[in-house]
Amino acid sequence: MSIKFEVLHTCKQSGARLGRLTTPHGVFETPFFMPVGTQATVKTLTPEEIKEVSEGLILGNTYHLWLQPGADIVKAHGGIRGFMKWDGALLTDSGGFQVFSLSKTRKITEEGVHFKHHKNGSDLFMSPEDSIRVQEDLGADIIMSFDECPPPYETYDYMKDSVDRTLRWAKRGKVALTTDQALFGIVQGGLNKELRKYSAEELMKMDFPGYSIGGLSVGETKEEMYDMTKFLNPILPFDKPRYLMGVGSPDDLVENVINGIDMFDCVLPTRIARHGTALTTQGKVVIKNATYEKDYETLDPGLQTHVSKYTRSYIRHLFKGNEILGMRLVTYQNLAYLKHLMTEIRKAIKEDRLLDFKEEMKKNTNYFKTK
């Protein structure tokens, strides 16, 4: 097995888990958050900077790299790590989510998915075996089973068929794998608990080294999301890492850690950064607001980074002038804040006070405010 996972401690107050994930490219305390490097770059940052603001583990997107520059070119560089000069650990998704979310027309068959290129409209096809082969070329430490992430409005019958097909695809991916990369199974089933339980239990029979939860954070309410991770917590095996895909707002991180999640990724912190929303120890800061025009305080007085020296007034000016440096600084800040938050969360688990930590955060920030 190319990865190893141990639960080191369970928070007596919240039940949240503190763990240790050992990979070929680093040992990481869980729970952690992974920045997303869709196109073999975490947008705006160099690998050196990513190292500073991550735990040392990032995510790459199979779909994007398969289409551009192509898996062969990435492979010729020794995989994503050689391509982007990242010496940390790496996880890739299966491409499934993008096949279903980016392409407007697609046809699902037992064999795989026929779909159109999201930009140039050309005909494409991906099977579970294709996904594994591409992910082998990309060379991540942890890879994902090819899955369908069905729209939340689909009927029970559609969902049941989809879950069954995704289970068959998971099995085929496992057979196709020729490397010692750690292949995770992905629990699907929408908001239907019966299907989610079925999906998890069938995957567990296949004995994956880790389990992802897909199909959440796709339009449901936060309460529905938390309810589902809470439901799955006692079902998923205690001694395997659980990865909640596509979730990364500060409140969602805290709530889902309480529900037993070990790993997270999300484009949100880097995406909102590029539009000028900063995540800070004091809460969200929408830097373009006029209130910051003459605010000579630093962006986040509670967090010392290389961004700390700039005033809010200067960063606002950069955004008003559409300057790339503004996006860089806030991207750096947002990831630095999430790294800080996850460190604080792990500390609170160790000290059996994660519920207290959540209450303090609710009091001191605007992250838990209803939208």
- Beta-carbon contacts of 132 under 8 Å, excluding residues fewer than 6 positions away, are 143, 146, 173, 176, 177, 183
> Is 96 assigned to a binding site?
yes
Asked if 27 touches a copy of itself (CB under 8 A), the answer is no
116, 104 contact by CB (below 8 A): yes
**Which residues does residue 235 pair with via DSSP β-bridges, in sequence order?**
none
**Token pair listed for 201:** 């239990």
The residue from 93, 137, 141, 300 that is catalytic is 93
Q: Which of 25, 43, 284, 350 binds a copy of itself (CB under 8 A)?
A: 43
**Angle of helix 250-258 relative to helix 222-232, nearest 10 degrees?**
30
Half-sphere exposure of residue 341: CA atoms within 13 angstroms, side-chain side: 29
> Is 33 assigned to a binding site?
no
Q: Which residue has the tokens 């629990």?
A: 187
Polymer length of the chain: 371
Asked if 316 touches a copy of itself (CB under 8 A), the answer is yes
Per-residue binding letters, 83-112, with a copy of itself (x by CB under 8 A): xxx---------------------------
Q: Which of 14, 23, 30, 44 binds a copy of itself (CB under 8 A)?
A: 44
Coil, helix or strand at residue 207: coil
Residue 26 DSSP one-character state: E
CB of 310 to a copy of itself, least distance (A): 6
**Residues 288-307 interacting with a copy of itself (rule: CB under 8 A):** 293-294, 296, 306
User: Is 207 noted as a catalytic residue in this protein?
Assistant: no
**CA 190/CA 199 separation, integer angstroms:** 10
Asked if 28 touches a copy of itself (CB under 8 A), the answer is no
Residue 260 DSSP one-character state: T
Q: Which of 6, 8, 27, 68 binds a copy of itself (CB under 8 A)?
A: 68
**Which residues does residue 211 pair with via DSSP β-bridges, in sequence order?**
185, 242
User: Is 87 noted as a catalytic residue in this protein?
Assistant: no
Interacting residue ranges for a copy of itself, rule: CB under 8 A = 39-41, 43-46, 48, 64, 68-69, 73, 76-77, 83-85, 293-294, 296, 306, 309-311, 313-314, 316-318, 320-321, 323-325, 327-328
- Annotated binding-site positions for substrate: 93-97, 147, 188, 215
- Annotated binding-site positions: 93-97, 147, 188, 215
**Catalytic residue numbers, as ranges:** 93, 265
